[in-house]
């Protein structure tokens, strides 16, 4: 049983560029959340997708957007990259109907130069 998978593992971009990160949830999970973890900080909630819609959103600008596909996989898009967007981006999946565990993927390390 595959867990949460994220791609790519590492990414280097320059300021102003756009980036797309991908996530496949754990089998049986239908809810995907994205978190940003800056160096030395705890993860910060970006948004959550369920039934292909953004259901909750944290305090992140509109440059951060996402999508969920019918197979529950998800994408995180960041436009107009800033140096401060450099971080580990974590995808986490769960089941809407229950489950007390949030499963994290291995993350995408984004560096903005």
Partner 1 sequence: QKEVEQNSGPLSVPEGAIASLNCTYSDRGSQSFFWYRQYSGKSPELIMFIYSNGDKEDGRFTAQLNKASQYVSLLIRDSQPSDSATYLCAVDRGSTLGRLYFGRGTQLTVWP
Contacts of residue 79, defined as CB under 8 A and 6 or more positions apart, other chains included, come to 18, 63, 65
Nearest to 36 by CA among 28, 44, 24: 44
Out of 17, 27, 41, 77, name the contact with partner 1 by CB under 8 A: 41
Q: Residues 67-96: x/- map of binding to partner 1 (CB under 8 A)?
A: ---------------------x-x-x-xxx
Would you give the distance in Å from CA 20 to the centre of its chain?
A: 10
To partner 1, the closest distance from the beta carbon of 6 in angstroms equals 9
Measured from the CB atom, the residue of 47 and 80 that comes closer to partner 1 is 47
Cross-strand partners of 21: 76
To partner 1, the closest distance from the beta carbon of 80 in angstroms equals 25
Site residue total, partner 1 (CB under 8 A): 29
Out of 60, 67, 73, 99, name the contact with partner 1 by CB under 8 A: 99
Measured from the CB atom, the residue of 15 and 55 that comes closer to partner 1 is 55
Q: Read out DSSP for 64-101? A: EEEEE-TTS-EEEEE-S--GGG-EEEEEEEEETTEEEE
């Amino acid at each position: 049983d595959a867990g949460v998978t994220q791609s790519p593992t590492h990414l280097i971009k320059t300021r102003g560029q756009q980036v797309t990160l991908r996530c496949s949830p754990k089998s049986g999970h239908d809810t995907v959340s994205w978190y940003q973890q800056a160096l030395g900080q705890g993860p910060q909630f970006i948004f959550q997708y369920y039934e292909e819609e953004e259901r909750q959103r944290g305090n992140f600008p509109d440059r951060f957007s996402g999508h969920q596909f019918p197979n529950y996989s998800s994408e995180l898009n960041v436009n107009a990259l800033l140096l401060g967007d450099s971080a580990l981006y974590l995808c986490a999946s769960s089941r809407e109907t229950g489950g007390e565990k949030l499963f994290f993927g291995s993350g995408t390390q984004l560096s903005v130069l």
